[in-house]
Amino acid sequence: MKKLEWNFLVEMMTEWKPSS
């Protein structure tokens, strides 16, 4: 996996995370 791809996944996960 590329570093860029991993970063993108992490960002997506953080965005999907609920900010309750």
Report the pLDDT value the prediction gives residue 2, as an integer from 0 to 100: 80
Quote the CA–CA distance of 15 and 12 in Å, as a whole number. 5
Region for residue 12 given its phi and psi (left: phi exceeds 0; alpha: psi -120 to 50; beta: otherwise): alpha
Report the pLDDT value the prediction gives residue 1, as an integer from 0 to 100: 62
Q: What is the pTM of this model?
A: 0.26
The torsion angle over the Cα atoms of residues 10, 14, 15 and 20, rounded to 10 degrees, is 170
Of 2, 4, 20, nearest in space to 12 by CA: 4
pLDDT in tens, 1-20: 688 899 998 988 888 766 66
